């Protein structure tokens, strides 16, 4: 079994937030691959499906971002999953909007959801990072990530979620590099090539957002 975890905050108040792009991506994958029905389990919402011949458990923690690890840990321990089979989808401030990167382990860049997961299960899970850009100053981060995507951003948000869902079989099979490349090429083909990052790398999420 593979665990696809989308990070976000529960409830309609947060549904369109930049911080919730992990939820959006997992929802898109589950819809495309006819997973379901969703039900309450592991302190989250879960659904099951099959992608590329592998059984996939979709999980959206309902503990709020800061406590995402509690939900993920319950699922991991119940199924005795190796961390190589855990894939976490989340927002990344230090990537330009519309850019996607996949990696295993590494630092948490101040992201509270990752910090919580690493504290509960360890650090060596797979990560799908969705660039949302940076507001320009550390003190603006919380308001930025907890604000909805602007209308002008919805095109690339919908496109990348759709493309990720289309190529999710590669993730399920562990072909992360191929998945990342396919998403990049498909975004370019749709006219959503990410802009180059401007200036020096700025500080990540300061940890204040829930």
Q: Where are the domains of the chain?
A: 2-189
Catalytic residues: 19
Q: List the alpha helices (DSSP H) in 1-151.
A: 21-32, 68-79, 112-121, 141-145
* Main-chain dihedrals φ then ψ at residue 111, nearest 5 degrees: -80, 120
Query: Residue 174 corresponds to which tokens in the numbers above?
Result: 């562990």
Q: Which of 95, 124, 102 is nearest to 195 (CA)?
A: 95
Query: Any idea which fold 2-189 has?
Result: Rossmann fold (3.40.50)
CB 96 within 8 A of CB 196: yes
pTM of the entire structure? 0.92
- Mind listing the pLDDT tens digit of every residue in the chain (210 residues)? 999 999 999 999 999 999 999 999 999 999 999 998 999 999 999 999 999 999 999 999 999 999 999 999 999 999 999 999 999 999 999 999 999 999 999 999 889 999 999 999 999 999 999 999 999 999 999 999 999 999 999 999 999 999 999 999 999 999 999 999 999 999 999 999 755 444 334 444 444 466
Cβ–Cβ under 8 Å, residues 82 and 1: no
């Amino acid at each position: 079994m593979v665990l696809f975890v989308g990070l976000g905050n529960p409830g309609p108040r947060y549904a369109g937030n930049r911080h919730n792009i992990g939820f959006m991506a997992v929802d898109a994958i589950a819809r495309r691959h006819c997973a379901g029905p969703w039900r309450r389990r592991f302190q989250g919402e879960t659904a099951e499906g099959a992608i590329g011949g592998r059984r996939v458990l979709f999980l959206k923690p309902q503990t709020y971002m800061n406590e995402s690890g509690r939900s993920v840990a319950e699922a991991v321990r119940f199924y005795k999953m190796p961390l190589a089979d855990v894939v976490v989808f989340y927002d990344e401030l230090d990537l330009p909007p519309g850019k996607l990167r996949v990696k295993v382990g590494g630092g948490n860049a101040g992201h509270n959801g990752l910090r919580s997961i690493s504290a509960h299960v360890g650090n060596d899970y797979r990560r799908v990072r969705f660039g949302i850009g940076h507001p320009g100053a550390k003190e603006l981060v919380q308001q930025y990530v907890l604000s909805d995507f602007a209308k002008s951003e919805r095109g690339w948000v919908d496109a990348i979620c759709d493309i990720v869902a289309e190529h999710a079989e590669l993730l399920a099979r562990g072909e992360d590099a191929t998945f990342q490349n396919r998403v990049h090429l498909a975004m370019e083909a749709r006219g959503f090539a990410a802009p180059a990052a401007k200036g020096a790398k700025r500080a990540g999420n300061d940890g204040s957002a829930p």
